[in-house]
Each structure stands twice: as structure tokens, then as C-alpha cells.
Amino acid sequence: MTEPSNLDFLNSLIDPESLYENAPCGYFSFASDGTIIKINQTLSNWLGWTKNEVTGGMKMTDLLSVGGKIYYQMFYYPLLVMAGTVNEISFDIFRRDGTSFPALVSSNSVKDKDGNIRAVNAVVTDITDRKKYESELLRAKKLAEAEKNRFEFVSNYIPEMIWMASTDGVIDYVNKRFADHFKIPAGAPVLESVISIIHPDDKPGALRKWAKGIDGGTDFSVQLRLKTPAGLYSWYQIKGVPFIEDGFVSKWLGSCLDINTHVLEIEKKDEFLSVASHELKTPVTSLKAYLQLLGRLKDPQLPPVYQKLFEQSNRSVEKIVSLIDDLLSTSRLKEGQLSLRISEFNISTLLENICNTFRLEGKHTFIIHGNRSLKVRADEHRVDQVVINFINNALKYAPNSPEIILLVEERGDFAKVSISDKGPGILREKIPYLFERYYRADHKGSQYSGLGLGLYICAEIIKRHGGTIGVDSEMDSGSTFWFTLPLA
Ligand code: ADP
């Protein structure tokens, strides 16, 4: 507690006149006819008039616009007479240079004993900043509203079905086309509605992929069957992309595409190729056996052209056998029938043996780098198939790359094998599809013939080993196809 004597002392330090003069608001007083009789320094600074110029010479209404004057005379002053005080009425106050600023004016009257107003004390608060802030707020609100309307317009009229989800993967918005397509009732919880129409066989896998995609924080896609209002299941592809703000995912956006026709076409193609390859397998195996027999019966007297034709036939048959093998592997993979014969072997030795075979052709240089001692647990024959596929692709799509570089590295519990060429590279937008069945980046002409199955088979083989597969590629610099296998 402060002692009373101390209080007096402290009070004596306060200068009310200075407080009046330099307050953060304007003070002025005027007589009942409006003549200004006193004004503080703050208001005089705001107005640009000296105190002497204002007092005695100017009227309160000289500070107001024409409209302000009328308002003052018709409402403000009569109210002051009636109520004695008037609070926070908005006026534009005019400065000496003709400019004005928005202000709130509060007044209280000083009356004589007969109740007549003798003087009025007024407080002026400059609200320029507040007005600016209010108008900015209003502008921002209008902009936000316009953006929202625009988004709703685009989102509802776009021919695609689109959705939005929170960072934890809960779908909280679907556009009109989505809701109409699946007849999702307005106001129904969207996520639950979508989950309820997933085909029971696809549900566990699709939900796992969805959760993994959301956790991953990068673009993802889920393929699944959804029930249409007609009661039939159809194939859809749901794609999601993260919306990044300040370096963090703040939302998920995505599309839902009807891919039923595409999936059915692929299934038909699978079926046809599976039947065709089974039908071709037997006669081609016989053809190969007959050629082998012919080889043994070869007569040295025959002219050299026979030998050449024989070798070419052999090469062509080998090519057909490898194509049929690819087709058969694809149908086996689809039916989950690809069995693995796991053993432990040195991965560099396997690469060395493969390279030696390719070196015989003498067209490219094969260089193996990295850890030569790594042993993996895998099916040697299948890994051989993958490496040969990668090298064949490098030779096919990067024919002018003088060197093919193979690298073996240890990556945690895995061995990583990379095969690099210095070829034309692959367009970035094509990379996500390379390991899909029947996918081929545009190749016109017979130089690059193929079925688009090689990388799909490689990916399935590696996935079955618990490894990963991928490609890093840059246009005009080359491509590096890689895979990982568990270490022994
Ligand atoms: P295919 O060779 O029969 O087309 P793959 O599945 O082996 O099928 O390859 C798929 C596609 O990947 C090829 O069509 C080609 O566009 C691309 N590709 C594969 N390897 C390379 C490479 N080393 N350089 C450039 N493109 C490649």
C-alpha cells in the first residue's frame, strides 16, 4: 500500500495540462453557438491550424463537411440538448489543407443553473486506421467469397469427380458430380458413404493403400471397385495429391476416375494372351527341339549360307521362346502361381556371368562397380531374368550408350543393384507407369518392338522377394533402373 503522504507526492508529479495537451485523442470545447473556445495540441496538430487560429475565430461546424454540418444541426446538437451527452458519432473532420480524416466525436454539455447549454466538451478519436482495417477486412471477405463461389462453380461443373480430405485422410468434401454419380445424400458423412460402396474383396487392400498414401505425403493412387446406384460394381481409380502449405501437407485433393472399360479391356487382353501363349508353347518347343537336332546333323559340306540361315533361325526361335515365356510369366503372376526357389548367392558373381554373355556380342562395355562380397537370399533364376531384362532394355532403348554400368551397394538389410545407361532417358510423366502391365512409352517403328511386359514381370518378381524396384531418369542423360533384394 502506498502511504497517503506518498500519494500526494506522486500526484504532484502529474501534470494534467500536459496530459490534456498531448493526449492520443483530440480535445476541444465550443460555446453553444459553435465557436471553438479551447483545443488541445494533438487536435491542432491533426488539423494543421494553430491553437490561436482556431480559438475564437472558428466554429465547430467549420471542421465538418456540408452533410456533417446538416447532421450536426439536425440531430447531434438537439440530442446533446436533450440527453446532455452524445457518444461516438462518426464525422469526417476537415484539415486546413482541405483533406479530411474519419473520426468519432463524443460530447458532453456544460449547462448553467437554468439548464441552458453554455459550452460543450468534445473528444475526437481518429479512426483512419480502423476504417482502413475494416475496409481491408471487407475486401478480404469479398475476395474469399468470390474465390469460394469460383471454386464451387469449377468444382461442380468440371466433368471429373473430385474430393478433398483432411490431413488424416477423412474425406470431407466431394463435388456435385461425385455425389450425383454415387447418389451420396446431401449432409451424409462422405467417408463412410464411400467405404460402404467398396467391393468387399477390395476393401482391406484399398483402405491399406489409402492409409499408406496419406502417410506417405506424396501423390498416390488406389484402384478399386465401387458399387454404382444401379447395384453393379465398376472399376475406379482414386488419385490423391497433397496440398502443401508452409512445407506441410494441409489438405488432400484428388479425383475419382471411372476406369471400368480400360480394366475390362486389359482383362480381355490378358485372357487372350494367356490362351494364345499356351497354344504357342508346344509347337514352338518342338520347333526348338527340331532345330537342335538339325544342328547336330549339320553337314560340313553345306555352303556357309546354310550355317548363317541356321543361326538366324535359332536366334528367331530364341526370341519367340522368350516372348512366350514373358506372356506365360504374366498369366502365372496374375494368378499368383509364380513360385520362388530361394537360395543364397553372391549377387556380383551373377552380374559378372550375365555381363560375360553380353560381352560376347562385343557392342557395349559392361562395368561392374561396388561391393563385390554381398550375398542375397533370392531365386537366382528369377533375379537373372530381371537383370537380363534391364540390360536388354538398355541395349534396346539406349543403343548409342557405349557403356552399361552396374552397381552393387549395401542399403540396410538389402542389396541394391542399379543398371545405368547413357541413353535418351524417359519423360518424367511416363515414369510412374513403366512397371504397369502392357505399358510402353511411345515407340514408333519396329526398332523398339515389345509387349510392354518386361518391367511388369521384373517388378512382380522383386516385390515377391520383399524388395523394391524403381528408375531414376533424366532426359538426354540416361536412365538407371534399380532393385533391392534382402541380404543373406
Ligand atoms: P517393352 O520393352 O516390351 O516395351 P518393358 O516393360 O521392358 O516393355 O519396358 C517398358 C517401357 O519402358 C519401354 O517401352 C520403354 O519405353 C521404357 N524403357 C525401359 N527401359 C528403358 C531404358 N533403359 N531407356 C529408356 N526407356 C526405357
| Contact between residue 344 and residue 376 where contact means Cβ atoms under 8 Å apart | yes
Packed helices 454-464 and 304-334: angle between N→C axes, nearest 10 degrees: 50
What's the confidence (pLDDT) of residue 337? 76
Task: Name the band, by pLDDT with cuts 50, 70 and 90, for residue 333.
Answer: confident
Q: How many residues does the chain have?
A: 488
Task: Give nearest CA residue, ligand 1 atom 19.
Answer: 393
| Ligand 1 atom 7 nearest Cα | 454
What DSSP state is assigned to residue 160? S
For residue 434, count CB atoms less than 10 angstroms from its CB and return exposed for 0-12, middle for 13-18, buried for 19 or more: buried
Mean pLDDT of 311-339: 85
Given a cut of 60, is residue 362 above it in pLDDT? yes
Closest residue by Cα to atom 17, ligand 1, is 441
C-alpha closest to that of 101 among 25, 32, 35, 30: 25
Q: What is the pLDDT of residues 457-487, one digit of tens each?
A: 999 999 999 999 999 999 999 999 999 999 9
**Cell numbers placing 199:** 467391393
Model confidence at 49, in pLDDT bands (50, 70, 90)?
very high
| pLDDT of amino acid 305 | 86
Question: Which has the closest alpha carbon to 441: 387, 384, 393?
Answer: 393
Query: In 304-397, where does DSSP find H-type helix?
Result: 304-334, 347-359, 380-397
CA distances from 208 to 222, 410, 435, 436 (A): 10, 29, 21, 20
Ligand 1 pocket test, pick from 389, 391, 393 with the greatest ligand atom count within 8 Å of Cβ, gives 393
Whole-number pLDDT of residue 155: 86
pLDDT at site 446: 53
Instruction: Please indicate whether residue 450, judged by its CB atom, sits closer than 6 Å to ligand 1.
Output: yes
pLDDT(36) > 80: yes
Determine the distance separating the centroid of ligand 1 and the alpha carbon of 393, expressed in angstroms.
Answer: 6
| Å from CA of 358 to ligand 1 middle | 18
Q: Which three cell numbers stand for residue 22?
A: 498531448
pTM score over 0.85: no
- The CA 396 to ligand 1 mean position distance, Å, reads 8
Q: Which of 72-86, 115-129, 245-259, 322-336 has the lowest mean pLDDT?
A: 322-336
Contact between 427 and 475 (Cβ < 8 Å): yes
- Which pLDDT score, from 0 to 100, does residue 303 have? 84
Task: Show Cβ contacts of residue 298 under 8 Å, excluding neighbours closer than 6 positions.
Answer: 307, 310
Q: Which three cell numbers stand for residue 377?
A: 537370399
**What is the CA(386)–ligand 1 centre distance, in A?**
13
> Which among 273, 322, 397, 453 is the best mutation to test ligand 1's pocket, defined by most ligand atoms within 8 Å of the CB?
397
Measured from the CB, is residue 452 less than 6 Å from ligand 1?
A: yes
pLDDT surpasses 60 at 57: yes
Q: How many helices (H) and strands (E) does the chain have?
A: 15, 17
Q: Please report which confidence band the pLDDT of residue 294 belongs to, taking 50, 70 and 90 as the band edges.
A: confident
| Residue-level pLDDT at 444 | 56
**Average pLDDT of the residues in 223-233:** 94
Report the pLDDT value the prediction gives residue 322, as an integer from 0 to 100.
85
**Tens-digit pLDDT profile for residues 90-112:** 999 999 999 999 999 999 999 99
**Average pLDDT value for the chain:** 91
Ligand 1 center–CA 436 separation, angstroms: 11
- Reading the block at residue 325, the C-alpha cell is 515365356
| Residue that is written with C-alpha cell 513360385 in the block | 339
Q: Determine the longest span between alpha carbons in the chain, in angstroms.
A: 148
pLDDT of residue 97: 96
* C-alpha span between 69 and 91 (Å, rounded): 9
Grid coordinates belonging to 299: 553337314
Pairwise CA distance, residues 391 & 405, whole Å: 10
Q: What is the pLDDT at residue 198?
A: 96
Q: In the prediction, which pLDDT does 10 show? A: 81
- At 1 the pLDDT is 59
Whose cell is 533375379? That residue is 383
Q: How far apart are CA 152 and CA 479, in angstroms?
A: 43
Q: Mind listing the pLDDT tens digit for each residue in 151-200? A: 888 888 888 999 999 999 999 899 999 999 999 988 888 889 999 999 99
Candidates 333, 440, 456, 469: which one to mutate for ligand 1, based on the most atoms within 8 Å of Cβ?
440
Rounded to whole angstroms, the Cα distance separating 82 from 437 reads: 89
Measured in Å, residue 450 CA sits from the centre of ligand 1 at 8
Is the distance from the beta carbon of residue 398 to the nearest atom of ligand 1 less than 6 Å?
yes
Instruction: Say if residue 8's pLDDT is above 70.
Output: yes
Output the pLDDT for position 52: 94
pLDDT over 80 (residue 299): no
Rg from Cα positions in the chain:
42
- Report whether residue 399 contacts ligand 1, using a CB cutoff of 6 Å: no
Per residue in 431-459, pLDDT (tens digit) is 989 999 888 887 555 567 788 889 999 99
Please check whether residue 378 is in contact with residue 485, taking contact to mean a CB–CB distance below 8 angstroms.
yes
Our measurement of the distance from residue 104's CA atom to the centroid of its chain's CA atoms, rounded to an integer in Å, reads 49
Counting Cβ atoms within 10 Å, is residue 274 exposed (0-12), middle (13-18) or buried (19+)? middle
- Answer whether residue 5 shows pLDDT above 60: yes
Torsion of CA 359, 452, 428, 158, to 10 degrees: 180
Amino acid residing at 321:
V
Mean pLDDT over residues 232-249, rounded?
Answer: 94
Query: What was the pLDDT predicted at 336?
Result: 74
